[in-house]
Structure 1
């Protein structure tokens, strides 16, 4: 349920827009022309009277700057072109918006938590579209219900990593405006137009050829996944080359033989970069050695018990928005546990490795 502060913030945003005589679509266009792509659906979600979506932190200053101007502004004016009186008014509006945002969160927030508001990883302010690519299951994993001739044919029986898909698809739908286009399709049915969307790849190279190809394209991300003769059930991750190479393997229970061992820890890859096919969209990898690693990578930012702290960690650690992490995914009685990024042992590798610098709110 929305807090009183969240409702007041939505009312304030609507009042600012209406005072300027702008429609939601016109405001969205002004932001987009200023290099901050946003859809009218996103503007509507920030203003709706019931269950409004929190205004991202990085949108507050442009809002204040735009509505500093008298009349009905039709474009964004750079801050250095504001008069002293206009800049004073800008700061007043901005302080008021931030106070309401603090109230909406339940009180003043630490800097890293405040930044996490703009780092809601599965909120797409530009209106999408979002395409989730899932693996086709191998022939040995496909059951009889996958056959179209079966009277109880179920298409999802053809695909793998369904736990991760179910978790993520529902979360993205809940995080965004209902009008956001969110689709999922198997790797075998991906077409060229899909690649220019916000692209989410679920699963590793074994069953998802789209993941295999894009990992080769992402040379900046220093993580590779490869088939190994020592592991038949999944594909390993490695960082570095030659003598400096580090290979990350799952952890198994100590048993009398391989047939009786159980998976105790898997490895997940969670990465977010600019989409190499469309620089205004993102590419997100939710990968793992096994399906538990894939699910752990997804649940790190969907599980209500850890996602807020994990988002704050990402906002603080990767302020530019691009990152790649190999994470430890504990497995208990066959169930993947959501990795907590605040436990240092859970971060096996992080890119980029330069420490994040704190920045003042301006």
Structure 2
């Protein structure tokens, strides 16, 4: 996580809490207006994922006008529907959010490509979740050993192919040094996991 990413997330959250026409806005309202999921909006506010310029502009349009709500329902107005003062506020907000956005510097064409760059490299440095297949229930350890309370509990006993997991996890981490990489079974996915990069 970069400081700039955290600053952008804090600003997005601050915009939402400051609200529109003096009324704080729920994450669900922002998600509905932008047609995104609530977990993704939350991930943006926490700085765990980075919205693109397109979505920063959508944020600016949404918070630039009280007309973003009609009869209590959120909406995202097209840019051409904004009025003079709303356009000015939209542009100011957009430029502010752009400055806070952490954008990796584009490599010079003369630079040699990193040996780790490829299909497992994610330039935005968002967290990565490796989703693994599990053993059939009948092949898993007995119920007595399958809870964390058991002294013989081993979480990895439920995984179908540990060799593949170790190899893939190591390769993904090596291709994204410093990025959070964790693994889970498919039936253990959380709403936060699905906002990360998923490796299946």
Q: Sort the TM-score into its range (normalised by shorter chain).
A: 0.5 to 0.7
Q: What's the counterpart of residue 55 of structure 1?
A: 50
Between the aligned partners of 2:165 and 2:127, the Cα distance in structure 1 is 16
Q: How many residues align?
A: 160
Between the aligned partners of 2:199 and 2:87, the Cα distance in structure 1 is 41
Q: What's the counterpart of residue 9 of structure 1?
A: 8
More helix by share: 2
Alignment of 1:257-336 (within 5 A): 286=200
Question: Structure 1 30/54 Cα, relative in aligned 2: closer, same or farther at 3 Å?
Answer: closer
SS of match in other structure, 1:31: helix
Which runs of 5 or more structure 2 residues have no equivalent in the other structure?
108-121, 146-150, 174-178
Between the aligned partners of 2:18 and 2:155, the Cα distance in structure 1 is 51
State the Cα distance separating 1:14 from its structure 2 match: 2.8
Q: What's the counterpart of residue 80 of structure 2?
A: 80
Between the aligned partners of 1:80 and 1:199, the Cα distance in structure 2 is 36
User: What TM-score, normalized to structure 2?
Assistant: 0.53
State the Cα distance separating 1:97 from its structure 2 match: 0.6
Q: What's the counterpart of residue 334 of structure 1?
A: none
Q: What's the counterpart of residue 69 of structure 1?
A: 65
State the Cα distance separating 1:33 from its structure 2 match: 4.6
Q: What are the Cα deviations for residues 54-91 of structure 1, in whole angstroms up to 9, with x where unaligned? A: 43214211111111114874332122322244233322
Q: What's the counterpart of residue 111 of structure 2?
A: none
State the Cα distance separating 1:285 from its structure 2 match: 6.3
Question: Structure 1 37/7 Cα, relative in aligned 2: closer, same or farther at 3 Å?
Answer: closer
Larger Rg: 1
Question: Structure 1 33/165 Cα, relative in aligned 2: closer, same or farther at 3 Å?
Answer: farther
SS of match in other structure, 2:38: coil
Which runs of 5 or more structure 1 residues have no equivalent in the other structure?
124-130, 177-181, 201-280, 287-362
SS of match in other structure, 1:8: helix
Question: Structure 1 120/163 Cα, relative in aligned 2: closer, same or farther at 3 Å?
Answer: farther
More strand by share: 1
Between the aligned partners of 1:15 and 1:155, the Cα distance in structure 2 is 39
Question: Structure 1 199/19 Cα, relative in aligned 2: closer, same or farther at 3 Å?
Answer: closer
Relative contact order, higher structure (CA 8 A, sep 6+): 2
Question: Structure 1 90/155 Cα, relative in aligned 2: closer, same or farther at 3 Å?
Answer: closer
User: What TM-score, normalized to structure 1?
Assistant: 0.33
Between the aligned partners of 1:174 and 1:88, the Cα distance in structure 2 is 39
Q: What are the Cα deviations for residues 141-179 of structure 1, in whole angstroms up to 9, with x where unaligned? A: x9xxx65399957463464332554639xx8x9479xxx
State the Cα distance separating 1:134 from its structure 2 match: 0.8
Between the aligned partners of 1:147 and 1:9, the Cα distance in structure 2 is 46
